Structure 1
Amino acid sequence: MKNNILILFITFVSLLLVSCEDVVQIEVQDGVSQLSVDAVITNKAEPQTIKLSLSQAYFDNSPVKPALGASVIVFDEDSVAYEFVDVKNNGSYVYDAKTRPLNKIGKQYALYVKYEGEEFVSLSKLNRVPKIDSIDYKVERFPIKPENGPQEGFLPQFYATDFEGEGDCYWIKAAKNHKYFSKSSQISVAYDAGFSPGSKSDGLLFILPVRLSLGGELYSDKDTLTVDLHSITKEQFYYLQIVQQVSANGGLFSTPLSNLPTNIINRNAQSSKKAIGFFGISAVSSMEVVIDKNKAKPKD
């Protein structure tokens, strides 16, 4: 049964997702509830979570309602099924990947969600990720006291080299004392070793602005810094760029707000039920250091 479902919806999605850069624009009408899918998972041998909830009107400030009773399965290209279960009945569907991680580099993975009689599908690919070679930090002082973090401290950067072959995309995540930076303004993505296609940075050491994009705060002595380098598809690269642009949008002459794209598709193209959100799978390279003032480089 699971293999039949896999074959059917991979065929269907493949026809719709002609290019990994194509996305589907969803027109969300105020007051119309839609299934929201937060399905960003990794190859780590730890519990992976896919969150399902229901969208609500723009001015509705009530708590987000979880989407309960769904069937959530991820299939790999070899027809292996990974079932995500809502154990706590709170809309968080979990697969414990400790013994069988989703770690087949270069393979496609397919998401299948069945909710209230509707079937939603999506595809992503687990791309390669380079090793983080090292992390260092130097003494720094900001000219103005920042809203968050100290004015004086240590400015870190990581070192890693992009693979040869144009088109590798990455998401750089950083955590200060094990708390990840989560604001949209702190999203950092890279295309090869630079910021965008055409930068001629293929196969090079990540450029300095990328290496420094670790939350935008200074660190203090004894702080713990964690750096995660995620491989992502080109589709997710552009999606995260749009998330950042829309979140930072503002001002008299700003671009009007628009709905975020989604790669979640209803198998029944004739159905009025649509979904929002995103499905992506990443390989992760990580490194963690404890800031030691005695090892810091002097200020330039």
Structure 2
Amino acid sequence: MKAFKYINTLILGIVFMSCDDQIYPELNDAPEVIVIDAWVNNKPENQIIKVTKTQPYFDNSESVGVPGAEVYITDNEGNRFDFAESNNGAYVWLYTTETFGTIGNTYTLTVNAEGSTYTSTSKLNRVPTVDSVTFRYELETAFGTEEEFYLGEFWSRDLEGAGDTYWIKSFKNGEYLAKPQEINIAWDAGFSAGGAIDGLIFIPPIRDAVNPFDEDPNEEDSFLSPYEDGDSLYVELHSITHAAHDFLSQLSIQTNRPGGFAALFDTPLSNVPTNIVNTTSDGLALGFFCLSAVEGNGKRLDISQVPKEE
């Protein structure tokens, strides 16, 4: 029995020692694949679709755009919306006086690039209003010290009728919270289908996910307050399709990898699903196409107006 315990201890020691070794794997370059990033919405602004190429895994440079493509969207009423080439793979539909799309219509994306035609379809679904954004005060005690936090929260009620899906985007002082762990999606008023939460106010974990939690650089194991006096929070609700909900869920899983020993047990890396189809050959394509209706609301924090518990 002692020998068995010794062997187990030795194996664990080797595992932990190996975690400290930095390796530099050599990967063969995979063939380039076209990537179509087509998230279009009905906000009163220009809409951009990006057509680029994949890069080697360890290449952190800006993606190379695909020039000379034909990019347009048609709807079920026979309307066509052309996207003009801008720079480095960006194709732009210019906003004038009318926003893009009509809620309830179905839209088909077509991209003709490098001898192939790529298509995808999305429906422009409904979205509820964001009634308000509020802040609250919390006093946390940890390791004998007290920390003050001001947290933001949005208030909105899911529309009646099961099956609505949303992407909640948050902006602190005008800057989009774009970290992998900050991807915030909802199915009706909760996390997933079948939760009997249709038509309700969004549940607290989704309302609270608009808060960025950054580590305090001056104090170990401590976090900064998500918002300070004078900071602003703006929250947008984007209606998305069920396929887009699945795409964002998988994207979060694949990109939200803190590292460390726990990384040994992470889900293996893989490509996230795509709804882009190459209709002229067997060539692959990556990316996603989704139409969104958007509602938003925001507020600036005035700590003198936030109640504190005595």
Separation (CA, whole Å) in 2 of partners of 1:107 and 1:297: 45
Normalised TM-score (structure 1) = 0.83
Q: For 1:269-299, what per-residue CA distance to the aligned partner results, in whole angstroms no more than 9, with x for missing partners?
A: xx23221000011000010211111221325
Q: Which runs of 5+ in 1 are unaligned?
A: 1-28, 145-150
Aligned to 1:259: 271
1:92 corresponds in structure 2 to 90
Quick one: structure 1 residues 60 and 200, their matched pair in 2 at CA, closer, same or farther if it must change by over 3 Å?
A: same
Root mean square deviation of aligned Cα: 1.9
- CA contact 1:137–1:297 (8 Å) conserved in 2: no
The answer to whether residue 31 in structure 2 is matched with residue 32 in structure 1 is: yes
Q: CA deviation at 1:30?
A: 4.0
Corresponding residue number in structure 1 for 2:244? 236
1:187 aligns to 2:199 (yes or no): no
Classify 1:105/1:254 alpha carbon distance in 2 versus 1 (closer, same or farther; 3 Å). same
Answer yes or no: is the 8 Å Cα contact 2:253–2:267 preserved in 1: no
Q: How far did 1:61 drift?
A: 4.1
CA contact (8 A) 1:43 1:102 kept: yes
Q: Which residue of 2 aligns with 1:64?
A: 63
Q: Which residue of 2 aligns with 1:202?
A: 198
Shift of 1:54: 0.5
Instruction: Give distance in 1, aligned partners of 2:77 and 2:148.
Output: 52
| Residue 12 (structure 1) aligns with | none
Q: Which residue of 2 aligns with 1:246?
A: 254
- Partner residue in 2 for 1:131: 129
Structure 1 partner of 2:172: 176
What secondary structure, in the 3-state scheme, does the structure 1 residue paired with 2:205 have? helix
The one-letter code sitting in structure 2 at the alignment partner of 1:258 is: S
Cα displacement (A) at 1:141: 4.4
CA 1:247–1:143: 2 relative to 1, 3 Å: farther
State the SS of the aligned residue for 1:237.
Answer: helix
- Residue 295 of structure 2 corresponds to residue 285 of structure 1: yes
Kindly provide the CA deviation profile for residues 69-122 of structure 1, in whole angstroms up to 9, marking residues without a partner as x: 1010011221111111123x3211111123232230011111100001110000
Q: Deviations over 1:178-208 (max 9, x none)?
A: 0000111100000000111111100111111
2:109 is equivalent to residue 111 of structure 1: yes
CA contact (8 A) 1:138 1:299 kept: no
Aligned residue for 2:265, secondary structure, equals coil
Is residue 44–residue 95 contact of structure 2 (8 Å, CA) maintained in 1? yes
Q: Contact (CA 8 Å) 1:192, 1:202: kept in 2 or not?
A: yes
Asked if 2 retains the 8 angstrom alpha-carbon contact of 1:82 and 1:95, the reply is: yes
Structure 1 residue 273 and structure 2 residue 283: aligned? yes
- Range with bigger deviation, 275-284 or 240-249: 240-249
- Measured against aligned partners, the alpha-carbon deviations of 1:100-149 in whole angstroms (never above 9, x if no partner) come to 322300111111000011100000111000011111111134567xxxxx
Q: Which residue of 2 aligns with 1:11?
A: none
What TM-score comes out, normalization by structure 2 length?
Answer: 0.81
Partner of 1:121: 119
- Unmatched 5+ stretches in structure 2: 1-27, 214-225
| Larger CA Rg, structure 1 vs 2 | 2
User: Counterpart of 2:299 in 1: which secondary structure?
Assistant: strand
Cα displacement string for residues 244-288 of structure 1 (whole angstroms, at most 9, x for unaligned residues): 0111245112221111111000112xx232210000110000102
**Identity of paired residues, percent?**
41
